[in-house]
Amino acid sequence: MLKKNVETFLECNKTYKEAEIVLFGAPFDSTTSFRPGTRFGSSAIRHESFGLESYSPYQDKDLIDSKIMDSGDLELCFGNTKKVLSDIKRRTEGILKDGKLPFMLGGEHLVTLGAVQAVAKKYEDLHIIHFDAHGDLREDYLGEKLSHACVIKRCWELVGDNRIFQFGIRSGDREEFRWGREHVCTRKFDFQGLREVLEQLQGKPVYFTLDLDVLDPSVFPGTGTPEPGGVSFDQLRQAATLVCEKAKIVGCDVNELSPHYDASGASTAVACKIVREMLLALDK
Ligand SMILES: [Mn+2]
């Protein structure tokens, strides 16, 4: 029998009722400070996922067996950041209310704020694990508080001190790093200390936000603010899988793929493979 032509991320074609994890795209890049284009990230990941096997030799698991629905991209109103965030929040709230795990594909990193607003409302004791090249701890960016350069600072306002654990950070202004030392836990350059943090967070609800520019630009040039000196693909794969296996994840996102900056398509392939490994590790 012929099937409807509806595109989903690799094998993530279960019904909403069956699904335990719900993927959705947040194709928004209005506040990007340098090179725009992340609005095409989620659809590129979905489309290019067909170049990838659904089976992972790393984990010996297959997305065919998973209970995941890809619900497509949100329709977001460019130019109205507040409305965009409230639409993302509402979608996340709906998924949480139904007892499912929201997994968002960005978009620029600001989209995380909408999801964290919803998750923090449900889980008082929320902690955040954040992989990124950038601290994203600015009070504002050129006077704008709702910017992807400030997203983790906005999240801190929701969860408070010592709840945010950053890894891979290698860029930010002096004030961000100074402020960060007092309010968040920042591990610079790589994933050292991740196992200890995961042990410390055992049983606590965790939101996991992964900015793909944590990768070195030689691996992942397809992003708006590339930052040399990043981690390798395999370092990220192992760290992201570990977080998804060990932490009590209550929401997560992968963001900042800007596919058109890498004409080879390799950056999109990297994003797809990281998403696949995360989904398989989350599907318990
Ligand atoms: Mn970043």
pLDDT in tens, 38-65: 999 999 999 999 999 999 999 999 999 9
**pTM value surpassing 0.95:** yes
Predicted pLDDT of residue 12: 96
Predicted pLDDT of residue 30: 86
Alpha-carbon distance 85 to 168, whole Å?
26
pLDDT < 70: residue spans in the chain: none
Give distance in angstroms: CA of 98 to centre of ligand 1. Answer: 31
Give distance in angstroms: CA of 109 to centre of ligand 1. Answer: 7
Locus of tokens 């067996």: 65
Give distance in angstroms: CA of 108 to centre of ligand 1. Answer: 9
Give distance in angstroms: CA of 225 to centre of ligand 1. Answer: 7
C-alpha count within 13 angstroms, C-beta hemisphere, residue 1: 2
Alpha-carbon distance 130 to 254, whole Å?
10
Give distance in angstroms: CA of 132 to centre of ligand 1. Answer: 5
Give distance in angstroms: CA of 134 to centre of ligand 1. Answer: 4
Give distance in angstroms: CA of 22 to centre of ligand 1. Answer: 24
Predicted pLDDT of residue 34: 79
Give distance in angstroms: CA of 168 to centre of ligand 1. Answer: 10
Burial of 142 from C-beta contacts in 10 A (0-12 / 13-18 / 19+):
exposed
Give distance in angstroms: CA of 34 to centre of ligand 1. Answer: 11
Give distance in angstroms: CA of 94 to centre of ligand 1. Answer: 28
Give distance in angstroms: CA of 253 to centre of ligand 1. Answer: 13
Give distance in angstroms: CA of 2 to centre of ligand 1. Answer: 42
